[in-house]
Chain A
Amino acid sequence: MLSVKLFNITTIAYFGAMVVFIAYLATRSRGVALVATIVSYIGFALNTAAIGFRWYESYQILGVDGRAPLTNLYESVVFFSWTIMLLYIVIDLKYKQRAVGAFVVPFAFLGMVWAQLYLNDAIDPLVPALQSNWLTYHVITCFLGYAAFAVACGVSIMYLIKAGKEEKNPEGSPVGGLLGVFPSIRVLDDINYKAIMIGFPLLSLGIITGAAWANYAWGTYWSWDPKETWSLIVWFIYAAFLHARFTRGWVGKKAAWLSVFGFAATIFCYLGVNLVLSGLHSYGGS
């Protein structure tokens, strides 16, 4: 399938972008940063094309039963990588902080590698329960939310590294070396908050569309199955994050930790529930 080949090239592009971003941290050359950014944009374009092709191929293989490629673990992982890059590009266009790429692109790369090496890329027809437009809305909103949290987690890691170093240099001299190209911790804290501000409503929408779908398919919008419960746990964590900003002391480092922690819960919600716990959802076991 052409789409699988395109996904392979996408993976290589993300790998290349990641390496060049890390080279940028080492060299602090703006030219290198530009190359890294361009490579990551190319990767994103390839990722987009690959998803488009897979959609097209589903119609070739399944005829009228073709469908948006958002229905099994493989497709969700490559879509997750795509959403991470989309959110990364939004943040890149707004803040133009190139170093952020070194901490966000690896998430997209890891997703692609995992999908390409270990997941089943067959295009299978859908069981009746999954034949619903709600599935598409649900997956898109959830993953855009997750991607925003991935970006927040990336900048939070940068924050923690940079803030940790600055504490060790109490003279207030700006830290050099690798950290020289990091955005200031104020900007990192701001991006963290902004990304979560984007992610939280999207996650809310994701949970709501999931509930709407469940209600439409079998008449209960909420049944406390592990996947639903974990998405609610993630939602609680980020709600706590938003409120914690109002009380003193929960900006900066604590907020960064909470963001990293929230993303860990997000990943568990996405993968752990299927791979570790069992549930009703379709992504398990494939």
Chain B
Amino acid sequence: MTTRDKSFFEHIWDFFCSLKLAIATLILLAITSIIGTVIQQNANPQEYIQEYGPTAYKIFVALDFLDMYHSWWFITLLIVFAVNLTCCSIKRLPRIVRIVAHPDKTPDEKFFRTLGRKGEVETSLSAEEAAGRAAEAVGRLFGRIERTDVDGRICLFTQKMAWSRFGVYVVHASILVIFAGALMGAFWGYKAFVNIPEGSSSDKVWPRNSNQPIELGFTVRCDRFDVEFYPNSRRPREFVSDLVVLDNGQEVLKKTIEVNDPLTYKGITFYQSSYGPMGNPLFHFKVRERATGETVEVKVRQGEPAELPGGAAFRVADFTEQFQNFGAAARIELLPGMTHEHKPGERHPSFVVLKNFPDFDAQRGGKYIFSLLDYKQRYYTGLQVAKDPGVWVVWLGCFMMVVGCFAAFFLSHRRIWVVVQATDKGSRVLYGGNAHRNQPAFEIWFENFSAQLEDAVKNG
């Protein structure tokens, strides 16, 4: 009974340790991942029905294709992958630890037969003398040696970069670390957004997939938003927000954020992501009455009427920041004033004032001369808000992966053994070495090494 139980368990264990499963999982992950790149994820049902028809839509829903990267089957695949990786590493790691921590420093002849690169010389030197010279040569060509004397044999051993054997395991562990970081983010983090008008503040943010706002526990205020355009272009160069964090009513942090430069407070990060206009812009005009030379400055919002000396009035009917490459322009409409008699059906005279050309309006010959000194469009700033306590774990995993890959691919654990034994005529020197990577380079190195070593221990 017990033996059958054990063998069943062993079957499962072997299944999860196997490299075949790893390859199959990798290829399955690669193939299934394609689905989500072809079928748009998390769109509206209507869009799918329109594009694929109702039957296909039902099939997609049944198979979880519309949010496939979070579907039970894709997650299952990832779990199998992680379990596979864990089992496989647990199974193999002890052997590697043994190789690294307890190398065979006193190998016998049988061991030498298994080595790929080896040699043997007879010499008339005494064993002690030969071992001394061999040690000197190995020290010069490779590295410090350890000497062990057993059963009348002098055994020399040295190795380099034994720890590079762990490179593969660091890579594998890195994947588990990244998974752990992603899970931490999924359980304890959130993604949300908030729009804050200039001059206002918010202590809540709205997560993507729910209407329930999240309390920040502090307040964020936007003092200023600004968007800057490339010259003669509608392409934004950058947009920035002056943010202030208020905790318990105290200003604790101030930062001007821009795209690619966020603000973080208490693990919550605010990213500049979008913006939009808030209400109508406020204009600042200078108006001169031609006849009297009297000048007034007027501040008015778009659409609202403003009075002028002499009883007339005007409003800004239209505005654009870029008028045929002339820059900002406002279209002004003169209104029937208090004293001006309004005739029915009369069209209000309207004309354009350019901010960059303050004297332009004088040429119109009107009763009033307008120059646009400035305008202020109030904006709201659109902030992406993310809390992800797992992100550092993910970066740690990424770091491990890169370092591990480097060690696994480009570093080689190399070992050298020399065993000297006294004979009737002097001594016999057996030597050999191996590398766990990059055999061709080691082969070339070993040829040179073997020539020099034999030279050193030969008579005289």
Task: Identify the A interface with B (CB < 8 A).
Answer: 65, 124-125, 127-129, 131-132, 134, 197-198, 200-201, 204-205, 208, 211-212, 215-222, 224, 226, 229-230, 232-233, 236-237, 239-240, 243-244, 246-247, 265, 273, 277
Q: How far is the CA of A241 from the CA of B269 in the complex (A)?
A: 39
CB distance from A213 to the nearest CB of B (A): 8
* Contact of A219 with B262 in the complex, beta carbons under 8 Å: yes
* Contact of A247 with B23 in the complex, beta carbons under 8 Å: yes
Q: How far is the CA of A134 from the CA of B80 in the complex (A)?
A: 33
* Contact of B38 with A128 in the complex, beta carbons under 8 Å: no
* Contact of A200 with B405 in the complex, beta carbons under 8 Å: yes
Q: When the two chains form the complex, which single residue of A131, A212, A220, A240 contacts B395, counting CB atoms closer than 8 Å? A: A212
Q: How far is the CA of A6 from the CA of B239 in the complex (A)?
A: 36
CB distance from B410 to the nearest CB of A (A): 8
Q: 4 additional contacts, CB 8 Å, given A197-B409, A243-B26, A265-B30?
A: A128-B258, A212-B398, A221-B394, A224-B36
Q: How far is the CA of A219 from the CA of B29 in the complex (A)?
A: 25
Contact A208 B238, CB 8 Å, known A217-B259, A230-B37, A240-B23: no
Interface residues of B in 230-271 (CB under 8 A from A): 230, 233, 235-239, 258-260, 262, 269, 271
Which residues of the partner chain B approach A226 to less than 8 Å between Cβ atoms?
Answer: 36-37
Contact A128 B260, CB 8 Å, known A219-B386, A232-B33, A243-B26: yes
B22 within 8 A of A: yes
Select from chain B the residue with minimum beta-carbon distance to A250: B23
Q: When the two chains form the complex, which single residue of A128, A212, A222 contacts B238, counting CB atoms closer than 8 Å? A: A128
Sort chain B's interface into a size bin: 35 or more
Q: Which of B258, B269, B384, B409: most chain A Cβ within 10 A?
A: B409
B110 within 8 A of A: no
CB distance from B206 to the nearest CB of A (A): 14
Contact A132 B260, CB 8 Å, known A200-B405, A236-B30: yes
B385 within 8 A of A: yes
Which residues of the partner chain A approach B38 to less than 8 Å between Cβ atoms?
Answer: 277
Q: When the two chains form the complex, which single residue of A200, A217, A229, A246 contacts B19, counting CB atoms closer than 8 Å? A: A246
Q: How far is the CA of A68 from the CA of B230 in the complex (A)?
A: 18
Q: How far is the CA of A65 from the CA of B29 in the complex (A)?
A: 41
Interface residues of B in 12-45 (CB under 8 A from A): 19-20, 22-23, 26-27, 29-30, 33-34, 36-38, 41
* Contact of B33 with A127 in the complex, beta carbons under 8 Å: no
Select from chain B the residue with minimum beta-carbon distance to A239: B26
Which residues of the partner chain B approach A208 to less than 8 Å between Cβ atoms?
Answer: 398, 401-402
Contact A218 B34, CB 8 Å, known A131-B260, A236-B27: no
Select from chain A the residue with minimum beta-carbon distance to B240: A128
Which residues of the partner chain A approach B237 to less than 8 Å between Cβ atoms?
Answer: 65, 125, 128
Which residues of the partner chain A approach B69 to less than 8 Å between Cβ atoms?
Answer: 224, 229
Contact A277 B37, CB 8 Å, known A65-B237, A128-B238, A219-B388: yes
* Contact of A131 with B259 in the complex, beta carbons under 8 Å: yes
Which residues of the partner chain A approach B233 to less than 8 Å between Cβ atoms?
Answer: 125
Which residues of the partner chain A approach B391 to less than 8 Å between Cβ atoms?
Answer: 215, 221
CB distance from A280 to the nearest CB of B (A): 12
* Contact of B230 with A65 in the complex, beta carbons under 8 Å: yes
Task: Identify the B interface with A (CB < 8 A).
Answer: 19-20, 22-23, 26-27, 29-30, 33-34, 36-38, 41, 69, 182, 191, 230, 233, 235-239, 258-260, 262, 269, 271-273, 384-386, 388, 391, 394-395, 398, 401-402, 405-406, 409-410
* Contact of B37 with A229 in the complex, beta carbons under 8 Å: yes
Select from chain B the residue with minimum beta-carbon distance to A272: B37
Sample 20 A-B pairs with CB under 8 A, ordered by A number: A125-B230, A127-B235, A128-B272, A129-B259, A200-B405, A208-B401, A217-B271, A218-B273, A219-B271, A219-B384, A222-B182, A226-B36, A226-B37, A229-B69, A230-B37, A232-B33, A236-B33, A244-B23, A247-B23, A277-B37
Q: How far is the CA of A221 from the CA of B388 in the complex (A)?
A: 10
Contact A217 B260, CB 8 Å, known A125-B230, A131-B238, A205-B402: yes
Q: How far is the CA of A197 from the CA of B262 in the complex (A)?
A: 36
Q: Which of B27, B37, B69, B238: most chain A Cβ within 10 A?
A: B37
Which residues of the partner chain B approach A247 to less than 8 Å between Cβ atoms?
Answer: 19-20, 23
Q: Which of B237, B258, B260: most chain A Cβ within 10 A?
A: B260
Q: How far is the CA of A127 from the CA of B230 in the complex (A)?
A: 9
Q: How far is the CA of A204 from the CA of B400 in the complex (A)?
A: 11
Which residues of the partner chain B approach A125 to less than 8 Å between Cβ atoms?
Answer: 230, 233, 235, 237
Q: How far is the CA of A65 from the CA of B273 in the complex (A)?
A: 21
Which residues of the partner chain B approach A265 to less than 8 Å between Cβ atoms?
Answer: 30
Which residues of the partner chain B approach A232 to less than 8 Å between Cβ atoms?
Answer: 33
* Contact of A233 with B271 in the complex, beta carbons under 8 Å: no
Contact A243 B23, CB 8 Å, known A131-B238, A200-B405, A204-B401: yes
* Contact of B271 with A218 in the complex, beta carbons under 8 Å: yes
Select from chain B the residue with minimum beta-carbon distance to A128: B259
Contact A211 B398, CB 8 Å, known A128-B236, A219-B386, A277-B37: yes
Select from chain A the residue with minimum beta-carbon distance to B387: A219
Which residues of the partner chain B approach A216 to less than 8 Å between Cβ atoms?
Answer: 260, 262
Which residues of the partner chain B approach A124 to less than 8 Å between Cβ atoms?
Answer: 235
Question: 5 closest A-B pairs (Cβ-Cβ)?
Answer: A219-B386, A128-B259, A236-B30, A226-B37, A201-B405
Which residues of the partner chain A approach B386 to less than 8 Å between Cβ atoms?
Answer: 218-220
